[in-house]
Amino acid sequence: MAGVVPGVHGYEIAHVTLYRVHQRVAKTFRQGRAFLAGDAAHINNPLGGMGMNGGIHDAINLTERLATVWNDGLPESELDRYDLQRRLATLESIQTQTIQNKRNLETASDEFRQDMKEIMADRERSRDYLLKVSMIASLRRAAELG
């Protein structure tokens, strides 16, 4: 703690919990009338908040689809798009980014710092980077899938 906040000392650590970093994605997010979302559908390391954000994206996508089937009479096959869009977004975006976040922290390399400086210096690269880490790009990708 003293390494993070200088001058802090004499504190007691009341509890320690070890977290095993692992990543998994379910084979399907839909089986008939049952759906998986959030941590039930995909688990990833907590670096960057991608798991929570991904779960929110899952919930929004699924509830919109359920509402259109229920209220607008769209065919039940509309619900298959949830599985297609969210599972692919998880594999392409969430898993990829959290693995990279972990690597970046583990190495804390000069190369990573230099990459970030170069990204910050280039308006277009900064925009692309922010769209990616905010998961906005994954929403656009999902829309491409129909």
Q: Using 50, 70 and 90 to split pLDDT, how confident is the model at 41?
A: very high
**pTM of the full predicted structure?**
0.72
C-alpha angle 122-126-128 in degrees, rounded to nearest 5: 120
| Domain carrying residue 113 | 24-144
17 in a structural domain: no
- The pLDDT, as a whole number, for residue 92 is 81
Query: What CATH number does residue 39 fall under?
Result: 3.50.50.60
Mean pLDDT on 13-25: 80
28 in a structural domain: yes
Long-range contacts of 23-26, Cβ-Cβ distance < 8 Å, separation of 24 or more: 23/95, 23/98, 23/99, 25/87, 25/90, 25/91, 25/95, 26/87
14 in a structural domain: no
Q: How many domains, in total, are found in the chain?
A: 1
40 in a structural domain: yes
- The pLDDT, as a whole number, for residue 3 is 75
Mean pLDDT on 22-47: 88
